Amino acid sequence: MSNAGQSRSHSLALYEGEAELKVRTWVQLARTFLLIQRQAVVAVAEHELTLPQFDVLATLRFSEGVSQQELAERLLVTKGNVCGVIDRLEKTGWMERRNDPRDRRTNRLYLTPEGKRKIDRVLADHDRRVEQVMRGLTVTDTIALRSLLETLQKSVESE
């Protein structure tokens, strides 16, 4: 369910059945996403961030004070995993753990002032690149694409 086998055809029929249409559309979704994501990896690397690190900082930028557990759930990784990513990020001085006084088991996560400035620069660059990448779509097309993706997401989530 990734982007390999891109041009396969299960039959030589002129009529493309619904099943094949859907598989091809998924492959197209994967290919387009991965193409853009690869540029994103390079882009955040120029800011000395990995994609998971970017995800953490960007999440904190708009949801400061989340716990590690909440962050793990949101990013769909394990808490042990999040712990390691945070360890590395804390060393950079861009974010910090603060113990929750009301539940001393819990750490709440905050950007430092330098971290805020950092992620704002990265996000500005990110946004600029996204606009560049998507300049080939008209506003009407973009609205339609977003809407279709929302429909698809709901469909996936309702399984």
Q: Considering only residues 88-147, where is the footprint of DNA by CB under 7 A?
A: 88, 97, 102-108
Beta-bridged to residue 109, according to DSSP, are: 97
Residue 81 interacts with DNA (CB under 7 A): yes or no: yes
> What string of DSSP letters covers 48-108?
T--HHHHHHHHHHHHSTT-BHHHHHHHHTS-HHHHHHHHHHHHHHTSEEEEE-TT-TT-EE
Which of a second copy, DNA, none has residue 44 at its interface (CB below 5 to 8 Å by kind)? a second copy
Window 44-83: residues binding a second copy (CB under 8 A) = 44, 51, 54-59, 61-62, 75-76
Closest distance of CB 33 from a second copy, Å = 4
Residue 57 interacts with DNA (CB under 7 A): yes or no: no
Which of a second copy, DNA, none has residue 79 at its interface (CB below 5 to 8 Å by kind)? DNA
Closest CA to 73 of 84, 57, 59: 59
3-state helix, strand, coil in the chain (%, to 5): 65, 5, 30
Closest distance of CB 89 from DNA, Å = 8
Beta-bridged to residue 36, according to DSSP, are: none
Nearest-angstrom CA–CA distance, 33 and 35: 5
Residue 60 interacts with DNA (CB under 7 A): yes or no: no
Interface residue list for DNA (CB under 7 A) = 50-53, 67-70, 76-81, 83-88, 97, 102-108
